[in-house]
Amino acid sequence: MKFDILTLFPEMFTVFESSIIKRAKDKNIVDIKVHDIRDFTTNKHRKVDDYPYGGGAGMVMQAQPIYDAIDHLKSIYGYKPYTIYLSPRGRVFKQEVAKELSTMNHILFLCGHYEGIDERVMDIVDDQMSIGDFVLTGGEIPTMVIIDSVSRLIDGVLSKNESYEDESFSDSLLEYPQYTRPEEFRGKRVPDVLLSGHHAKIDKWRREMSLKITYERRPDLLKSASLSKKDIEYIKAISKKSK
């Protein structure tokens, strides 16, 4: 899968030169290319922003360098990649969106900065995305978040496909607790059911713990979760106990 990134700060993306994403790059499973928007400005001082019409605080990124950068990529690839602009106005990035994006072949991320970008750029943007209801200095960190989240859903990036199937949000539920050796640490023991070797009981315990943790910490997620009759009965039981 190909990712292209348009940014004013390409040096920030050295984060992809380590860990799981680096291994995926080395295996040619993902291809990440970073482009400096300043390379496409016609301004001799590499200026890419200007004051907004109508007045107001801050500066706005100009349309020309962004259009020319995207035209350059189109000339290389023969098409325009699916283009996402990171913006507070965008739809909120969630696990189901990560799954949607993981089926694509090529995504271009446009990282805004300052007070945003010239609205005329929106004519060549396919999607706008936000990672939450808070303000950041630019679109670089959200781009990193999305690429990391999407990449790990691509076959071969993780060592086993099952590695992400039971994780938080995979079924709109938070993940159950995990334990490893030793069996006892500072007086705290691993739950007996996990030592039993009884897979059906372990699966039941894990499901119930996911339901319990989600109910206690993110009850809003239960609205979109796929719940069985037993799940609903369990939630009702823990709800009564908490009252």
- Known binding-site residue numbers: 112, 131-136
| Bridge partners of residue 36, in order along the sequence | 7
Secondary structure (DSSP) of 44-59: TT---EEPPTT--SS-
Burial state string for 63-100 with b = 16 or more CB within 10 A and e = fewer than 16: bbbbbebbeebeeeeeeebebbbbbbebeebebebbee
- Amino acid type, 229: K
Write the single-letter amino acid at 96.
E
For residues 119, 124, 129 and 135, what is the CA-based torsion angle, rounded to 10 degrees? -30
Which three-class secondary structure state does DSSP give residue 145?
A: helix
DSSP codes, 84-122: EEEEEEEEEP-HHHHHHHHT-SEEEEE--BTT-B-GGGG
Residues annotated in a binding site for S-adenosyl-L-methionine: 112, 131-136
